[in-house]
Amino acid sequence: MGLKQNLHNLKEKYKGTKMAPAFNAIHTFLYLPNETTHGGTHIKAADDLKRTMNIVIMALVPCLIFGMFNAGYQHNAAINGFTEGMSFFSGDFWNMNNFLIGLTKILPLVIVSYGVGLLIEFIFAVIKGHEVEEGYLVTGMLVPLIVPVDLPLWMLAVAVAFGVVIGKEVFGGTGMNILNPALTIRAFLFFAYPTWMSGDKVWVHGAVEAAGTADAISGETILGSLAQSQPLSYSVSDMFFGFIPGSVGETSTLLILLGALFLIFTKIGSWRIMVSAVIGALVMGFIFNQVVALGWIGETSKFHGLMKLEFWKHLLIGGFAFGAVYMATDPVTASQTNKGKWIYGFLIGFISIMIRVFNPAYPEGVMLAILLMNVFAPTIDYYVVQGNVKRRLKRLKAKTA
């Protein structure tokens, strides 16, 4: 009689009752269930959805930890001044002081995100009598990483509730949703509480409270300052390593790149979407560079700052890398065919940079680009699949002709 046997007895006892899904969710979290195959194949591969989701979470953890350090660093640096030319392992960044500031700000975000989201998932699973699906494990991790560090917790709770219910459960739960739930949550925050989601005060911890006082600190993101045609004030290495203000987990392109490689290696993330999104962004950025080079846009134009930015730097700033790696590749809301993934990813990159340049009020395009392409993904798939159907019809015609 161990824990295993006790849990098994409990499972048998509650089988078929209303609370069974809730119990099973916790039980299967501890133990791989004792279910055996019936009917179909007698053996099954080792992977299940929990494992798949877990891999994505593992790829996100470095970004989360970096985000904690960065939150503290940005706060301290805004008060005490930035360190110039830091290396990635600089002690000015990786110290306990920075980490604790970040931890106290970001851990509550994670807890609220998971707590509210999973509670709703459990309630829906119990009401509908299906098992608790794992989709939210990733969503719950993504959400704290794509919001500003000072976001009030009640706003996050409201947004998560909205995103999970309207973005996912009304469509039938994990696997059925049209829009990426994490981005639905972010979009809700953005349109409901715009002052907390954009501008120059929200990206660094403490900037809002300090506003208007003698200790006021600036919390402008790179995109924000570029949109106002101010010169780029960060070095390429700072942007690549991620020592810049921004949403919690989106700043470190280096760690995102490592996460991407991990996802591609484990065959969990679609390399097609990631690569084509990068290509799309580079193409759009290059076009804008050419427009500036040809002199079609003057220095006075409000688009000049962002258009002039060298096309490859678009990959380093804002949430583009994070979006392309972790959000665009969500298999449920992305295109499902391999050919469709190329088109879908390319358009995400292309439209992201377009929105980024032409939308000075909110100079980040990746969220809206992904949501837009989520809506179009089934259409892309439809035409790709029709290509297969047509090929089959053509074969028939060649035969009968």
In whole angstroms, give the CA distance from residue 381 to residue 343.
Answer: 10
CB nearer to other proteins: pick between 29 and 296: 29
Residue 38, interface with other proteins (CB under 8 A)? Answer: yes
Q: CA-to-CA distance for 144 and 35, rounded, in angstroms?
A: 35
User: Is 49 one of the binding residues for other proteins (CB under 8 A)?
Assistant: yes
Nearer to other proteins, 30 or 361 (CB): 30
How far is CA 361 from each of CA 100, 153, 186, 211, 342, rounded to the nearest angstrom? 33, 25, 16, 20, 30
46 is a site residue for other proteins (CB under 8 A): yes
Among 93-101, 157-165, 362-370, 391-399, which window interacts with other proteins (CB under 8 A)? Answer: 391-399
Question: Per rule CB under 8 A, is residue 8 in the interface with other proteins?
Answer: yes
The CA–CA distances, whole Å, from 51 to 32, 312, 391 equal: 11, 34, 37
| Residues 293, 160: Cα–Cα separation, whole Å | 44
Cβ proximity to other proteins, 131 vs 200, nearer residue = 131
Q: Are 165 and 183 in contact (CB under 8 A)?
A: no
Single-letter residue type at 150: D
Nearest CB to other proteins, comparing residues 213 and 391: 391
First to last CA, the chain: 73
- Contacts to other proteins from residues 206-225, by CB under 8 A: none
- Report if residue 266 touches other proteins, rule: CB under 8 A: yes
| Residue list 154-193, contact with other proteins (CB under 8 A) | 172-176
- Asked whether position 260 contacts other proteins by CB under 8 A, the answer is no
Residues 247 and 362: beta-carbon distance below 8 Å: no
Site residues for other proteins, 122-151, by CB under 8 A, read: 131, 133-135
Polymer length in residues for the chain:
401
Part in contact with other proteins (CB under 8 A); list of ranges 2-10, 101-109, 196-204, 224-232: 2-10
Two tokens, residue 155: 């706003």
Amino acid (one-letter) located at 52? T
Decide if residue 401 touches other proteins (CB under 8 A). no
Cβ count within 10 A of residue 371: 19
Number of residues that bind other proteins (CB under 8 A): 63
Q: Is 389 in the site for other proteins (CB under 8 A)?
A: yes
Residue 152: count of CB within 10 angstroms of its CB: 11
Is residue 378 part of the contact set for other proteins (CB under 8 A)? no
Q: Which residues contact 393 (CB under 8 A, 6 or more apart)?
A: none
45 contacts other proteins (rule: CB under 8 A): yes
Give yes or no for residue 368 binding other proteins (CB under 8 A).
Answer: no
Distance from C-alpha of 180 to C-alpha of 289, rounded to nearest angstrom: 31
Question: Shortest Cβ distance from residue 62 to other proteins (Å)?
Answer: 16
Closer Cβ to other proteins, 133 or 250, answer by number: 133
Of 27, 1, 31, 32, the residue nearest 14 (C-alpha): 27
Cβ atoms of 221 and 288 closer than 8 Å: no
User: Where in 299-338 is the site for other proteins (CB under 8 A)?
Assistant: 331-332, 334, 336-338
Residue 30 as a binder of other proteins (CB under 8 A): the answer is: yes
Per CB under 8 A, 341 contacts other proteins: yes
- Chain residues in the site for other proteins (CB under 8 A): 4, 7-8, 24, 28-52, 54-55, 131, 133-135, 172-176, 265-268, 270, 272, 331-332, 334, 336-338, 341, 381, 385, 388-389, 391-393, 395-396, 399
